[in-house]
A = this chain, B = another copy of it.
Amino acid sequence: MQKTQVTIKHIAQALNISISTVSRALQNHPRIGLRTKEKVFEMAQRLNYVPNPAAILLKKNKTFTIGVVLPHLQEEFFSQAITAIEDVISAENYNVVVSQSRDKLERENRAIKSFISSRVDGVIASISAETTQYYQFRELERYGIPIVFFDRAPKDVPVNKVRGNIADAAFEVIDFLANKGIKKVAILNGPASLEISDERLMGYWGAMKKFNLPIIQNYIKSTDLSKEDTTKKMIELLNGEELPEAVFCFNDYVALYAMQACKQKGLVPNKDIMFVSFANLPITTYLDNPPLASVEQFAYQMGEKAAQLLLKIIHAEKETLEPEDIVVNTKLIIH
């Protein structure tokens, strides 16, 4: 099937010059005659020469590839981030390999293994809902592969990361609800292993206190982000002593599942119970009664910063730099 490929050797022969001259000409080496360069480029074109990446990689011991693991490409939040990463990375002639963990630890680990064996030059990660340990990422360190986390970073480990100012956003959400006279606010949070869950809780807690709203233990739930568990927790809220007036959800999926649980109980979401969440699905705007407000996280910007940081680390030839913690501002969007 494969045609024999055109190599610099062919170009050299056709032009009756040495392969090193061809190689240099193709790289725009300064010490090559302008006429020679022209001839080489012309011939390369004519022969449909395409450089063999494997040979270059082998020689340079670099793959010009970065690996990205994240939970779901289907979430607008992540797909926007990946677009940004691709834009930044490809401008520097790097390639991107994306892998979805689907919130499974096992898939995340497999992706990391594959990144190691394909020898990527760096990794950008947003950890799965199941990930509680930093363990697996140590393996990357072992091979000297730098990592930058975005949005979902492991807790209690100093790492390079880019994240939204979640706690402030959560505070703002409660502020917004309080201003509307809503007092009883429940929270359907994400797994405790995620730092961004803690931050949501902190913001919630801080604001509830500040505005003298009642903090009810039963109003604080956390889910593993699956539909089943989210539904279960929402039903617990609905069956509780006092129905909350609003539910602050970890993200749009959680909100969607929770809203459906509501409907099944005969309540109209965003009329009988208000929902507010972190935006990652533009599709919620197609609902008949969309959530009152949501937090925009500027995924593109976050992806951009993460990619830039990673490139910076890759280019810095020195040993590990101080981990950076970049915070991107969020914005409360009132619908």
Chain A residues packing against B (C-beta within 8 Å): 1-3, 5, 48, 50-55, 57-58, 61-63, 73-74, 76, 79, 95, 97-98, 114, 116-119, 142-144, 146, 256, 259-260, 281, 283, 286-289, 313-314, 316-320
A58 to B61, CA, bound (A): 13
Please name all residues of chain B whose beta carbon is closer than 8 Å to the beta carbon of A2 when the two chains form the complex: 61-62, 144
Would B314 and A5 count as touching, CB distance under 8 A?
no
| Cβ distance A35 to chain B, nearest Cβ, rounded Å | 27
Please name all residues of chain B whose beta carbon is closer than 8 Å to the beta carbon of A1 when the two chains form the complex: 144, 146, 313-314, 316-320
Known: A74-B76, A287-B288. A54 touches B57 (CB 8 A): yes
Please name all residues of chain B whose beta carbon is closer than 8 Å to the beta carbon of A320 when the two chains form the complex: 1
A79 to B76, CA, bound (A): 13
Would B53 and A119 count as touching, CB distance under 8 A?
yes
| Cβ distance A198 to chain B, nearest Cβ, rounded Å | 29
Interface of A is mostly: loop
Would A256 and B58 count as touching, CB distance under 8 A?
no
Please name all residues of chain B whose beta carbon is closer than 8 Å to the beta carbon of A3 when the two chains form the complex: 142-144
Would B61 and A117 count as touching, CB distance under 8 A?
no
Leading 8 A-B pairs by shortest Cβ distance: A54-B57, A54-B58, A288-B288, A3-B144, A73-B73, A2-B144, A54-B54, A1-B144
Would A55 and B53 count as touching, CB distance under 8 A?
no
Please name all residues of chain B whose beta carbon is closer than 8 Å to the beta carbon of A5 when the two chains form the complex: 61
Please name all residues of chain B whose beta carbon is closer than 8 Å to the beta carbon of A317 when the two chains form the complex: 1
| Cβ distance A251 to chain B, nearest Cβ, rounded Å | 14
Q: Enumerate 29 A-B pairs (CB-CB under 8 Å) in ascending A order.
A: A1-B144, A1-B317, A1-B319, A1-B320, A2-B61, A3-B142, A48-B142, A48-B143, A50-B117, A50-B119, A52-B119, A53-B54, A53-B118, A53-B119, A54-B55, A54-B57, A54-B119, A55-B58, A73-B73, A73-B74, A74-B74, A74-B76, A97-B97, A98-B98, A256-B286, A260-B286, A281-B283, A286-B287, A288-B288
A256 to B287, CA, bound (A): 10
| Cβ distance A147 to chain B, nearest Cβ, rounded Å | 12
Would A117 and B74 count as touching, CB distance under 8 A?
no
Would A73 and B79 count as touching, CB distance under 8 A?
yes
Please name all residues of chain B whose beta carbon is closer than 8 Å to the beta carbon of A256 when the two chains form the complex: 283, 286
Would A51 and B117 count as touching, CB distance under 8 A?
yes
Would A117 and B53 count as touching, CB distance under 8 A?
yes
Q: A1-B313, A1-B319, A281-B283 are in contact. List 18 more A-B contacts (CB 8 A).
A: A1-B316, A1-B317, A2-B144, A3-B143, A5-B61, A48-B142, A50-B116, A52-B119, A53-B117, A53-B119, A54-B55, A54-B119, A74-B76, A98-B98, A256-B286, A260-B286, A283-B283, A287-B287
